[in-house]
Amino acid sequence: MTKQADDPKQILIPTVIDQEGHVERAYDIYSRLLKDRIIFLGGRVDRDVANLIIAQMLFLDQQDVDADVRLYINSPGGSVPAGLAIFDTMNYIKSDVHTICVGQAASMGAFLLANGAKGKRSILPHANVMIHQPWIDGIGGQVTDIEITTRELLKTKNMLNKILAEKTGQSLDKLQEQVERDYWLDASEALKYGLVDNILSGPRAGARQAKK
């Protein structure tokens, strides 16, 4: 098992052994998942995480444009610019991206979940989703700089709301009202809202419930 070097918690990353013919190869768990076209977003979205996910998507798209990429999401959200970089890459590559919410997809995590290919946005039964307006830490500086930052924030907020309204089928007015504060949805509510297309009950059972 190897350690994730830049993680202050020093989380252990398992190593798995894969049999390839008569040869055994050791992979860290994420590399082994990537071999099966699975990408895992399991934390906050920041520039480093975004760059890693983008690189994996570009690699898999080059490998086979006709095969889906599965993006599992268990994330509290994070940076809007970093999330939008992933969002644009999902739309840029030719492969369909099948998004699956495991545990939680909040904020930018929910935005990426909703951006999965049509009919290929899934959630596990006890996962939940949260959408809200963009969040930023305290703004400081000169008044003019604060005004410029505020204008940019409002522009970003309006852009994200329009995209999310298109992805969910909700009216823009309704969505804008709901995201003024944290808006939480369980799996069934996320399905009804249009954030996902189905609820997964297991790999053998497939989709338990499809959006009507």
Q: HEC string of 45-93?
A: ECHHHHHHHHHHHHHHHHHCCCCCEEEEEEECCECHHHHHHHHHHHHHC
Distance CA 80, CA 212 (A): 31
66-75, 130-139, 144-153: the lowest-pLDDT one: 130-139
Bridge partner list, 38: 70
pTM of the predicted model as reported, rounded to 2 decimal places: 0.85
At residue 209 the predicted structure's pLDDT band, cuts being 50, 70 and 90, is low
Give the residue-averaged pLDDT of 4-12: 52
* Structure-token match 């030719």, residue found: 94
14-23, 181-190, 191-200: the lowest-pLDDT one: 14-23
Q: In terms of Cα–Cα distance, which of 154, 129, 152, 150 is closest to 141?
A: 150
Which of 132, 171, 188, 201 is labelled catalytic?
132
Examine the residue annotation and report whether 98 is marked as an active-site residue of this protein. Answer: no
CB 87 within 8 A of CB 115: yes
Average pLDDT over all residues of the chain: 88
Task: Report phi then psi at 23, rounded to 5.
Answer: -110, 135
Bridge partner list, 71: 39, 99
Examine the residue annotation and report whether 79 is marked as an active-site residue of this protein. Answer: no
Q: In terms of Cα–Cα distance, which of 67, 39, 33 is closest to 55?
A: 39
Q: What is the pLDDT of residue 22?
A: 74
CB 77 within 8 A of CB 65: no
- CATH 1.10.287.3510 describes domain 37-210: no
Each domain of the chain, given as residue ranges in start order, spans 37-210
CB proximity list for 23: less than 8 A, separation 6 or greater: none
10-14, 69-73, 190-194: the lowest-pLDDT one: 10-14
Q: What is the pLDDT of residue 5?
A: 44
What is the dihedral sign for C-alpha 52, 58, 61, 63? Answer: negative
CB proximity list for 98: less than 8 A, separation 6 or greater: 68, 69, 70, 71, 116, 117, 120, 121, 122
Residue 204, token pair as written in the block: 């053998």
Which of 75, 95, 98, 107 is labelled catalytic?
107
CB 33 within 8 A of CB 13: no
Query: What letter does residue 177 receive in the DSSP assignment?
Result: H
**pLDDT tens-digit profile of 84-129?**
999 999 999 999 999 999 999 999 999 999 999 999 999 999 999 9
Distance CA 2, CA 28 (A): 8
